[in-house]
Structure formats: C-alpha cells, structure tokens
Amino acid sequence: MIDSTRPLYGWLAAAGVVFIWSGWVVVSRLGVVQTLTIHDMVMLRFVVASVAVAPFVWRFWPRHLRWWQVLLISFGQGAPYLLLTFAGLQFAPASHAGTMINGTLPVFAAILGWVWLKDRPGRWRVAGMSVILVGCVLIGWDRGTVGTAPDVWIGHLMFVLASVFVAINMVGTKVWQLTPMQAIVSIPTINLFWFGPLYLAFLPKAIDAAPWSEIVLQGAYQGLGPSVVAALLFTAAIRSIGPTSTAAMMAMVPGMVALLAIPVLGEWPSALAWAGLLLASGGILLAAGWRPGRRLSAGG
C-alpha cells in the first residue's frame, strides 16, 4: 500500500538507498586495494549481517520455499555475486562497476522476466535497455579513468556476471514471493553456512595483517549497509512513493558512485566514462518507467 500522505519520507528513504549502494561500491573498491583479501571481505559481510539478523531468523525464515529455491535466491546477492564484484574491482575503477552492474541489471532482469514470467517488456523499456547498453559499451572502451587497469575488460566481464546473479535474485524473489524480511534473514545465514567453512579451510586470508580500522569499516559497511539498512529503506520507499519512483531514483547510483570515488579514491572519470555513465543513467530511468514529459509522482 503506497502511503501518499508521507511522500517526503519515501524520497528520503530512496535517497538513503542511493547513498548506501553508491558508498558500497566505493568502500568495496577501497577494500580490494588495501590489506584484506576479497574472501575476507565476503566473510566479514556475512558474519556481521548474520549476527545482526540472528534474533529474527526463526520468525522470518521462508518456510514456504524449498531448500534449492532459498539457495538460488541467496546466491543472487551472496558470495558468488560479491566475489565477482570484488574481483572485478581489482581490475576496474568504482565508476565502471557502478555503471555496468546497475546498468545491465534492468536488462538481465527484463530478459529473465520475459523467459521466466512471460512478462514481455514494452517498447519504452526496450528503448531504455538499448540506451543502457550503448552507455556500457562506452564504459567498456574507456581507458582514461584513473584506476583503469590494462586488462580492465576482465573486471567488466565480472561485473556483467555479477549483475546476472542479482537479476536471478530479483526475479526469483518475485516468483516465489519472498518478503523483504525473509530475504534479509535468509541471504546472510545461508551464505555464512556454506561459505564460512570453505573460507576457514581453503581460501586465502589477510585479516590477521589488516588494521582494525579497515576490518571495522568493511565489516560494518558490508554487513549492515546494503544487507540490512538499505533493504529496509528500499521497502519503506516502495511503500511510500511506489516502485516506479523508487526504481527511477536508482538511476542516480552510477553518478553518485563516480562522484564519491573522486575524493575517496582519487578516481577521476574520463570524458568517455561520463558519457557512458549519463547514457546508462538515462536508460535506467526509461527502463524504470519514466517517460519524456511525464513527472514521477508519489504514486509512481
């Protein structure tokens, strides 16, 4: 139910999601160029998030789903998605990740929705996805942004694959009617259950050598930011201003990532990167339901 009497709270909640998601890309990029391994960062995320949601697991566990359905959804925003994103950030700057992951997500979600749900996208959504792809191609050609490695294409490929995992999560959540609280408790719990032993037994670690400031930053932001706080704010925004307006706000994420990366990481985007970012952001708006000459209202 959309609460049209308090749209300001909805817009503030959506803005909070934009800031947290954008900050997550920048904090993750900072993490991969510091001491911790990408496996440490994944483990910190699931340990902190699992502790935070532990009191609610029994109440909100999705008992209506089969084990493989919960596992598939948890992969979509779990260790496979995170490892691909973090590994990609070892090759590509934050602005590339913010544009390519958030840009290609509506494309893969639409394709999966068409195949899985027979939900054929309309012409404006197709137009938006086409614009997104043009923007991503420009990002793919960019070599002038600070922090771009010679083999940056490896990072781009990982970002695209990471986006596929999130799209599976989104469509699966819709098909199997997973509530936000069910997702918040099940995703970190399931991932900690299978990734934890693998991490402890086999994967490279550098957590003993990392300063506490780095551990606390990654643990708190990874475990509480996107996993808990952003998920709750996203739900509040949808209830207040509607799914279309909330989705349209997410078009701000690529630009916010690029802006935050300048002071935090010193990663100045090139002119080509800005062009790709703007095109992808415009495409996200179209794919989210915005139309030229039409305002996004609280009921959107």
In tens digits, what is the pLDDT along the chain, a chain of 300 residues? 444 446 778 888 889 989 999 999 999 999 999 999 999 999 999 999 999 999 999 999 999 989 999 998 898 889 999 999 999 999 999 999 999 998 888 888 888 888 887 878 888 888 888 998 999 999 999 888 888 888 999 999 999 999 999 888 888 888 888 888 898 999 999 999 999 999 999 999 999 999 999 999 999 999 998 888 988 888 788 777 776 677 777 788 999 999 999 999 999 999 999 999 999 888 888 877 766 665 544 444
What's the number of domains the chain is made of? 1
Amino acid 4: pLDDT? 44
- Is residue 141 included in any domain, yes or no? yes
- Is residue 139 included in any domain, yes or no? yes
Cβ(277)–Cβ(99) under 8 Å? yes
Cβ(92)–Cβ(159) under 8 Å? yes
- Is residue 258 included in any domain, yes or no? yes
- Is residue 211 included in any domain, yes or no? yes
- Which range marks the domain in which residue 96 is found? 7-288
| C-alpha to C-alpha distance for 123 and 20, rounded to whole angstroms | 31
Q: Is 242 helix (H, G, I), strand (E, B) or coil?
A: coil
Cβ(48)–Cβ(217) under 8 Å? no
| C-alpha to C-alpha distance for 19 and 253, rounded to whole angstroms | 8
Q: Is the dihedral of CA 264, 220, 84, 160 positive or negative?
A: negative
| C-alpha to C-alpha distance for 176 and 62, rounded to whole angstroms | 10
Q: Which residues of 255-273 are buried (b: 16+ CB within 10 A; e: fewer)?
A: bbbbbbbeeebebbbbebb
